A and B are shown apart, each in its own frame.
Chain A
Amino acid sequence: MAIEIEKPSVGLSKVAVSDTHGEDSPYFAGWKAYDENPYNESSNPSGVIQMGLAENQVSFDLLEKYLEEHSEASSWGKGAPGFRENALFQDYHGLKSFRQAMANFMGQIRGGRAKFDPDRIVLTAGATAANELLTFILADPGDALLVPTPYYPGFDRDLRWRTGVKIVPIHCDSSNNFQVTPEAMETAYQCAESMNLKVRGILITNPSNPLGATIQRSVLEQILDFAVNKNIHLVSDEIYSGSTFSSSEFISIAEILENRSYRDSERVHIVYSLSKDLGLPGFRVGTIYSYNDKVVCTARRMSSFTLISSQTQHLLACMLSNKEFSENYIKTNRERLTKRYDMIIKGLKNAGIECLKGNAGLFCWMNLSPLLEEPTRESELELWKTILNEVRLNISPGSSCHCSGPGWFRVCFANISEQTLEIALERIHKFMEQRRRN
């Protein structure tokens, strides 16, 4: 019997029917389990606790206080003067005051060790859009970007889906705390070549998601050198730059460039967003900062497809230009995240669980490999299901982040209250005790 060739749905594109959006992975399946049975302190105390969502909920009070004291930021004042100008503003250059405020904020986050030019800032509706946009600009369909593993699962969609660009992983492992090495980069490059893929760039996330750690200066230098040698681009997604536990430990690629007097800078592009540091993912605020004029110009034009609401630009321009607010926010947010991190590490340690030494982000990278039946991905997924269904915690399995060594999990700590975190840690403790007894 002839094999029926399945036609895609009447006249839809390959992109529309492909699954490169990646939403069939466990990363998303865990969310479903949570949605069906979400933990609530009073109404559903035995529900699933969401620890798979990298949101920052520890500093909302600071934002709310600012808004209360500065209503002009959100409401255009009595009679709404300035409303119409704001409502009409759709210039893809972005509100100048907002770009200025962003540039200053990014500089503040880096402790003043790097300075940003507002005219190099291109605004996009979130870092999701920024990463996709950069990929459209830096690569053609069929080309490849090198990305160190483990990496944020969303990249599979953001970098590949509509762009047709491929990701070739730079494998990192626990032997050296998952740091990128020149050998690993070279191997990835060769691997791409052997598949006849043209490598256009390397994309790093610094601080790393899911590792929750900053990239060391020496490693950044090596990565930049590698990009120069291969004559490719370097994209540094610094979305967690304001979520480091100590200001001095985060080294931005901007600092490395400054130290090199901006030599080789035309191949470097930074992505930023307010979704993590300010906890505002709903407002869709992302940026591309490029040292390459042509990229800035093209990105700006392309941003027409993903502009930030002028209402939101206005609000954040006011908020971030307030030095008193921004300095206090950065400092306080850092302190609170550190406290949360210490709490979870201690709690996990008491349960006999080790984590990668982290210093940033909204999550920790937990090592459960000793618990695996076998050192395989399947075993890891079994363990993940157990934790989801029995311990009732939604955490992210390392395999969804393309981690080459099984048994690692990303556990978020900033999207729940301290009390809920205590409960989660108690559950883990009990679970580990039970396992030890068995």
Chain B
Amino acid sequence: MGLLSRKVTCNSHGQDSSYFLGWLEYEKNPYDEVKNPRGIIQMGLAENQLSFDLLESWLDKNPDVAGFKRDGQSIFKELALFQDYHGFPAFKKALLDFMAEIRGNKVTFDPNRIVLTAGATSANETLMFCLAEQGDAFLLPTPYYPGFDRDLRWRTGVEIVPIKCTSSNRFKITASALEDAYQRAQRKNLRVKGVLVTNPSNPLGTTMTREELDLLVNFITDKEIHLISDEIYSGTVFSSPAFVSIMEVFKDQNLEKTEIWERVHIVYSLSKDLGLPGFRVGAIYSNDPIVVAAATKMSSFGLVSSQTQYLLSAMLSDKKFTKEYIAKNHKRLRKRRSMLVAGLEKAGIDCLESNAGLFCWVDMRHLLSSDTFEAEMELWKRIVYDVKLNISPGSSCHCTEPGWFRVCFANMSEDTLKLAMQRLKSFVGSITGNDRSHQELKNSRRKFSSKWVFRLSFQSFHDREQDER
């Protein structure tokens, strides 16, 4: 039999890790309020399910749009034939207006610089193809979204070198961490092509400070490399500090007409802000016309369905709707986050102070039997199997310190969240409340290790495709 390519046999798709167990277990025993109240509650999925009613009500008021009608006339044929990789003009305009609105209209976007792609997954990979190749590397601050291991590396051959961030300063990027990452890449004989940051951060749920953004600008200027700012969560910033886009920083510093500007590229998507991951709507915004040209052609491999472009162009052009949506969505996310934080507090658990995203970065270091990743895995397994909550261990996000977990709060009902918190409280009570000695904890750990054979892998991803970012 003809062999398959190296891409098939390598595991840069990252789906063989032990992390995948959590998903498997959830699928085998998913929580259902009525049918399976003792099942596993899914808290590892960064989905925004809080504002569907707003979308549904808009659809109800605008039934023609989904029915391929514009001003009472059918445009089905026009849409069915529309496969221009430059994108549906009305949609690009509406999307850019929405992106500007999210940024408080402090910046404006040029429709000639946007490229539509089937999701941010496609956008990130496409940017890699445009900016780098085998033997090159991008620097990413840790912890980062596990999907990047696949999206940036698998088919492109590009490497990721981590910029190590720690809890000592709330995981902020520092100049020394940047320089250290750069040097490490050099020692591995990798040519650094750029830095990729997610702002707001997944999994931290925080927006980048101006200081961090300035640091980045200085760094990419100094090293003459690219900066990709994945702003997929930009619409989920629900409390202060306000979101500062890299665009704003360049505008404020009057760097817009410079050469450095051309090395800044933004990725966006409607999967998180609008809760529409199924519709595959992503975008690349680049200030380099050559990148725009190349990415546009590459988007042929992942265009957005014209049916979807049209629906969303109508929805996002409705400024009354977008204003209301953004405001209400923020409010609901803020409330949910507070609920989660309060629930965690009752269980004696802290989390990183956050102002964005669909998750919290939770500190369970005090629950570890030892300051090791093995202990983190053990704790994670207990939480999945005993507490029956599927949360994401920090190691899967390449966090340098064990004991941190990402816990999602926007993909379930309020009642389910409350139940999850109760379960967690009981669990914590049971392991800390009963004067358990360190030895006892060690013993219980040995029991678990022999029962579950696993390999600690940093290639974390799971078989349920999504980009459960």
Contact = CB atoms under 8 A, between A and B. Distances in A.
B422 to A, nearest CB: 26
A71 interface: yes
Given A10-B259, A13-B129, A90-B465, A311 B60 contact: no
Interface stretch (B76-84, B206-214, B239-247, B320-328): B76-84
Interface in A104-130: 125-126, 128-129
Contacts of A315: 307
B59 A83 contact: yes
A308 B280 CA distance: 7
B300 A11 contact: no
Interface in A304-334: 304-312, 315
B464 interface: yes
A80 B54 CA distance: 11
Contacts of A91: 464-466
Contact of B278 (A57, A143, A302, A309): A309
B301 A13 contact: no
Interface stretch (B119-127, B161-169, B371-379): B119-127
A432 B285 CA distance: 50
For the complex of A and B, list the 7 residue pairs with the smallest distance between their C-beta atoms, beginning with the closest.
A310-B278, A282-B306, A92-B465, A309-B305, A75-B66, A16-B294, A282-B82
A16 B4 CA distance: 26
12 contacts: A10-B262, A11-B194, A16-B290, A63-B80, A89-B278, A125-B301, A136-B5, A136-B155, A279-B80, A284-B305, A309-B304, A309-B307
A284 B83 contact: yes
Interface stretch (A293-301, A349-357, A377-385, A391-399): A293-301
B97 interface: no
Contacts of A282: 79-83, 305-307
A283 B308 CA distance: 8
Interface string B456-469: 00000000111100
Interface in B301-335: 301-308, 311
B276 A87 contact: yes
A86 B55 CA distance: 13
A16 B294 CA distance: 5
Interface stretch (B7-15, B383-391, B431-439): B7-15
A335 to B, nearest CB: 20
Nearest to A162: B129
Given A75-B67, A76-B66, A295-B4, A283 B302 contact: no
Interface in A67-83: 67, 71, 74-76, 78-80, 83
Nearest to B14: A301
A86 B278 contact: yes
A343 interface: no
A283 B300 CA distance: 12
B153 interface: no
A280 B49 CA distance: 31
Interface in B93-114: none
Contact of B279 (A17, A201, A310): A310
B263 interface: yes
Interface in A129-170: 129, 132, 136-140, 143, 157-158, 161-162
Given A83-B56, A137-B5, A309-B280, A12 B305 contact: no
A74 B66 contact: yes
Interface string B237-280: 00000000000000000000001001100000001000111111
Interface in B120-152: 121-122, 125, 129-133, 136, 150-151
Contacts of A157: 297, 300
A60 B2 CA distance: 42
Given A301-B465, A311-B279, A67 B305 contact: no
A335 B47 CA distance: 47
Interface in A259-303: 266-267, 275, 279-284, 294-295, 298, 300-302
B80 A281 contact: yes
B34 interface: no
B193 interface: yes
Contact of A231 (B2, B82, B129, B271): B2
Nearest to A86: B278
Given A16-B291, A79-B60, A283-B80, 14 more contacts: A10-B263, A11-B131, A11-B226, A12-B294, A60-B77, A60-B80, A64-B74, A75-B63, A75-B66, A83-B52, A87-B52, A91-B464, A157-B297, A304-B151
A21 B280 CA distance: 24
Contacts of A305: 118, 121-122, 125, 151, 155, 301-302
A161 B131 CA distance: 15
Contact of B288 (A9, A57, A63, A129): A9
B225 interface: yes
A186 interface: no
Given A63-B76, A88-B47, A138 B5 contact: yes
A90 B130 CA distance: 26
Contacts of A140: 5-7
A267 B155 CA distance: 22
Interface in A46-73: 55, 57, 60, 63-64, 67, 71
Contacts of B275: 84, 87-88
Interface residues of B, number: 78
B290 A304 contact: no
Contacts of A309: 118, 278-280, 304-305, 307-308
Contacts of B49: 84, 88
A283 B129 contact: no
B119 A307 contact: yes
Contacts of A429: none
Contacts of A280: 80
B277 to A, nearest CB: 4
A138 B1 CA distance: 11
Interface string A175-215: 00000000000000000000000001100000000000000
B118 A312 contact: no
A161 B119 CA distance: 21
Contacts of A312: 305, 307-308
A312 B82 CA distance: 14
Given A90-B278, A137-B4, A301-B13, A13 B81 contact: no
B287 to A, nearest CB: 12
A320 B131 CA distance: 41
B55 A83 contact: yes
A310 B118 CA distance: 11
A23 interface: yes
Contacts of A29: none
Contacts of A9: 288, 290
A295 B9 CA distance: 11
A312 B226 CA distance: 35
B155 A302 contact: yes
B150 A304 contact: yes
B130 A12 contact: yes
Contacts of B353: none
Nearest to A21: B297
A171 B297 CA distance: 28
Nearest to B295: A16
Nearest to A89: B278
Nearest to A278: B80
Contacts of A143: 5
Contact of A298 (B4, B55, B132): B4
B417 interface: no
A302 B121 CA distance: 11
A312 B6 CA distance: 33
B219 interface: no
B277 A88 contact: yes
A304 B277 CA distance: 11
Most buried by B among A13, A91, A283, A295: A13
B131 A13 contact: yes
Nearest to A93: B465
A15 interface: yes
Contact of B303 (A126, A231, A295): A126
Contact of A12 (B55, B77, B131, B271): B131
